[in-house]
Structure 1
Amino acid sequence: MKLRKVTAASAVVLALTATATACGSGDKDSGSSGGGDKITIGIKFDQPGLGLKEPDGSYSGFDVDVATYVAKELGYKESDIEWKETPSADRETALERGDVDFIVATYSINDERKKKVDFAGPYLLAHQDLLVRSDEKVTEGEDLNGKKLCSVTGSTSAQNVKNDFAPKAQLQQTGTYSECMDGLVSGAVDALTTDDSILAGYASQEQYKGKVKLAGLKLSNENYGIGVKKGDTEMVDKINTALEKMVADKAWDKAVEDNFGPADYKNEPAPKIGDIVK
């Protein structure tokens, strides 16, 4: 093979090209505290009131509002945010691969998850609860025995109720919470169980207003945190600062009212950073 000599002028052009390429590759710094052109945030796309992709392509929900506020404090405009769907089973992997900068997706903080990712927050204390028809009253124990409880396949919520509160309850599992909601309204099931924040989001939808209500049982404590790649303490610290500001300027309260208000959701006060309720 005959090699061509590189002239001095050509060398300068090559050097400038390489420099430009290197600069262009730094548009997004996913391993630190932000400041690039774009930021990628993981959310749920199918949870009304928390993380929902609307028919027009926009996004709504409490998690979306929290994530947008945090991104703004990190130096990003709303138009700089790239939303990425992160189902529960994919959250740790998405962070490990660097697919997202952080995740705000009903992500309960627990010891097992903390081995793989770091958490900022918590930013919401939720509880496992039941959603029932508005004309019914349900309490723990005997009232649930014999009842048909619905939850999604793979969820532990319905099994927790059966194990801890109502051993004679009948479990029904579906592919989506929407299927459970249809069954609840039609009378095919007696209750839908999962986190009260998720239930409140569904109850706030126009088609369900006045038809369903939360039982208010508080069957567990779910401390929602913002997931960050393991070891990125700078990002955790900056997100925590943003969350504290969101609470202080009442934007947190507004987000709760905007997203859960129609369900008459009895939310807990905004949790203090690092305060994990067992």
Structure 2
Amino acid sequence: MKLSKVVAASAAVLALTATATACGSDNKDDSGSSGGGKIKVGIKYDQPGLGLKQPDGSFSGFDVDVATYVAKELGYKPSQIEFVETKSADRENALQRGDVKFIAATYSITDERKAKVDFAGPYLLAHQDLLVKADSDITKGTDLNGKKLCSVTGSTSAENVKNTIAPKANLRKYSGYSECIAGLQSGAVDAVTTDDSILAGFAAQDKYKGQFKLAGLKLSNENYGVGIKKGDSALEKKINAALTKMVGDGAWEAAVKKNFGTSYKNEPAPKVGVIVK
């Protein structure tokens, strides 16, 4: 009788252990292989047309659509995506710390950044430009000499202008593009520089319509890539496959039209793995 009780107790312990193990297996890592977990994705929160957090807490923009499509191909539903704000100056750190799995946030592929993180893509070819007031006399890069120029900390755009185009420009760096646009509206700065895709998104907002214009300068080629942690070649391959599929099935073109409308004359979809210098 005593032996039977011992056997019964042991069986109960084994059953409880098996149940606990089975329950634990529902916790998804970042593989997208089971249905209960989430994936953290870095985006911008303040860029209309690209990555914007709406008052109701939802997100919109081309980068958001790209990120959602990629996450779907990795096995995640939209409800499983947790969008995390990643400002320009913190993108590499966010990937290195593991705060996010990947970043789709107007993230231009450069040799300097590739030393710290890896990239899939590119998925959009943009160009550096200037946003100025509608009545501004700034029509070319050299006109910025002696003018107040605004860009965002961590962006490569301001250094490009300061180092190669207008060395006498008075550079102002803010933490976000919304601050630069507000400064342009108030007259605190004379121009804002970054990618034309970003500037077009701001200029198209209802509250700014008619106030600003793009100078129409192609000061650089900006190959937007999906940032991932250094050395994660398996994830890079999966994301490249997702981006190729997005272009092939028409979802890329649909996202461009939805988010940029007619205000932005985009380049054709770039070929994955090909960087335009």
TM-score when normalising by structure 1: 0.86
Residue 18 (structure 1) shift: 4.0
State how far apart, in whole Å, the 2-side matches of 1:173 and 1:137 are: 22
Runs of 4+, deviation exceeding 6 Å: none
TM-aligned CA distance change 1:71 to 1:174, over 3 Å: closer
State how far apart, in whole Å, the 2-side matches of 1:183 and 1:13 are: 66
Matches within 5 A, 1:104-123: 104-123=104-123
Tell me which amino acid in the other structure corresponds to 2:219. Answer: L
TM-aligned CA distance change 1:46 to 1:266, over 3 Å: same
Secondary structure at 1:129 match in 2? strand
Residue 171 (structure 1) shift: 2.4
Contact 1:140/1:166 (<8 A) preserved: no
Contact 1:159/1:171 (<8 A) preserved: no
Matches within 5 A, 1:12-161: 12-25=14-27, 27=28, 29-30=29-30, 32=31, 34-37=32-35, 38-136=38-136, 138-161=138-161
The superposition leaves residues 225-256 of structure 1 with CA deviations (integer Å, 9 ceiling, x where unpaired) of 11223333232222212211221232212222
1:277 aligns with 2:273: no
Secondary structure at 2:42 match in 1? strand
The residue number in structure 1 matching 2:239 is 239
TM-aligned CA distance change 1:188 to 1:112, over 3 Å: closer
1:197 aligns with 2:197: yes
Deviates more, 1:186-195 or 1:121-130: 186-195
TM-score when normalising by structure 2: 0.86
Residue 77 (structure 1) shift: 2.1
State how far apart, in whole Å, the 1-side matches of 2:14 and 2:68 are: 43
Contact 2:122/2:270 (<8 A) preserved: yes
The residue number in structure 2 matching 1:214 is 214
Tell me which amino acid in the other structure corresponds to 1:124. Answer: L
State how far apart, in whole Å, the 2-side matches of 1:84 and 1:199 are: 22
Contact 2:40/2:83 (<8 A) preserved: yes
Residue 137 (structure 1) shift: 5.2
The superposition leaves residues 26-58 of structure 1 with CA deviations (integer Å, 9 ceiling, x where unpaired) of x2x32x4x3333322111122222111111000
Deviates more, 1:245-254 or 1:202-211: 245-254
State how far apart, in whole Å, the 2-side matches of 1:23 and 1:257 are: 41
State how far apart, in whole Å, the 1-side matches of 2:40 and 2:125 are: 25
Residue 15 (structure 1) shift: 2.3
The superposition leaves residues 130-161 of structure 1 with CA deviations (integer Å, 9 ceiling, x where unpaired) of 00122335333543233221223454433432
Tell me which amino acid in the other structure corresponds to 2:13. Answer: A
TM-aligned CA distance change 1:230 to 1:149, over 3 Å: closer
Contact 1:137/1:215 (<8 A) preserved: no
Residue 270 (structure 1) shift: 1.0
Residue 177 (structure 1) shift: 2.1
Tell me which amino acid in the other structure corresponds to 2:180. Answer: C
Residue 101 (structure 1) shift: 2.3
Tell me which amino acid in the other structure corresponds to 1:105. Answer: A
Residue 276 (structure 1) shift: 0.7
The residue number in structure 1 matching 2:3 is none
Residue 21 (structure 1) shift: 4.6
Residue 121 (structure 1) shift: 0.4
Q: Which runs of 5+ in 1 are unaligned?
A: none
The residue number in structure 1 matching 2:164 is 164
TM-aligned CA distance change 1:118 to 1:201, over 3 Å: same
Q: Which runs of 5+ in 2 are unaligned?
A: 1-5
Residue 164 (structure 1) shift: 1.5
RMSD: 2.4
State how far apart, in whole Å, the 2-side matches of 1:115 and 1:82 are: 27
Contact 2:89/2:154 (<8 A) preserved: no
State how far apart, in whole Å, the 2-side matches of 1:161 and 1:235 are: 34
